[in-house]
Amino acid sequence: MHEAAGRTGALPAGIRALDRTMHCAGRALPVRCPRGDNLWIHYALEAAEPDDVLVIDAGNSGEYGYWGEIMATMAIARKLAGIVISGGVRDSLRLIELGLPTFSGSVSILGTGKDQSLDGALGEPVRVGETVVRRGDLVIGDADGVAVFPASAAASLIDASEERDAKEVAIIEQLQRGASTLEVYKFE
């Protein structure tokens, strides 16, 4: 979908699936956390609806584990589609066992605070890398990374992605019959 969308929407390459078999698709619920504090994620879990993907801007504070087994258990019970966080997670082996698609900037043992006086946000746009994520945007994640697309473009992007996939299948068939990439792509 990233390429079908004109190579837009990709989140930073450092945000990776905890397990390469994890994948998700759902609606974005943006969350902004203060450095070293995860209280706003607890608020998000309370507000989230089935098929939401929490997209958490924790800044570049990957040294904290903002998300772990307890929160993942609640997210699964609430039928969330996944979590994407610019910061760190902990309980990583248990998160993999639970199977909730989890994409993070790091893994860290360092816990977080829950200070109500700190500034955070729920449902407001957040910036993760160069991409602004808004409530309801389409979030797609797999072993290669995470991309976010405006909700208004989701249907047309799905169609464009299916068309692009069909073209790639035809290219692969040509290559299997002995054609070269120089021939197929008409490179000179």
For 53-100, what is each residue's pLDDT tens digit? 999 999 877 799 999 999 999 999 999 999 999 999 999 999 999 999
Question: Residue 85 belongs to what domain range?
Answer: 16-151
pLDDT band at 1 (very low <50, low <70, confident <90, very high): confident
Strand pairing class (138-142; 24-32)? antiparallel
pLDDT of residue 141: 97
Same domain, 165 and 139: no
Asked if the structure places residue 29 within a domain, the reply is yes
Report the DSSP beta bridge partners of residue 81: none
**Pairwise CA distance, residues 154 & 149, whole Å:** 7
- The rounded distance, in Å, linking the Cα atoms of 46 and 176 is 51
Q: Are residues 163 and 143 in the same domain?
A: no
Asked whether 89 and 107 are in contact (CB, 8 A), the reply is: yes
Does residue 6 lie in a domain region? no
Segment 131-173, tens digit of pLDDT: 999 999 999 999 999 999 999 998 898 889 999 999 999 999 9
Regarding whether 53 and 85 lie in a shared domain, the answer is yes
Give pLDDT, residue 41: 98
Domain count of the fold of the chain: 2
Q: Residues 169, 79: one domain?
A: no
| Residue 114 pLDDT greater than 80, yes or no | yes
CB 116 within 8 A of CB 34: no
Per-residue pLDDT at 51: 98
Whether 104 and 164 share a structural domain: no
Residue 99 located in a structural domain: yes
Q: What is the DSSP letter of 11?
A: P
**Of the candidates 52, 13, 54, 11, the residue with the CA atom closest to the CA atom of residue 148:** 11
For residue 167, what pLDDT is reported? 93
- 76 in any annotated domain: yes
pLDDT in tens, 2-59: 888 888 899 999 999 999 999 999 999 999 999 999 999 999 999 999 999 999 999 8
Residues 45 and 130 in one domain: yes
Of 121 and 155, more confident? 121
Residue partners of 1: CB distance under 8 A and separation at least 6: 9, 140, 147, 149, 157, 158, 160, 161
Answer whether residue 7 is part of any domain.
no
Q: Tokens 């990439």 label which residue?
A: 181
- Residue 103 — very low, low, confident or very high, per pLDDT cuts 50/70/90? very high
For residues 147 and 162, membership in a common domain is answered with: no
Residues 138 and 162 in one domain: no
Are 106 and 159 members of one domain? no
First to last CA, the chain: 28
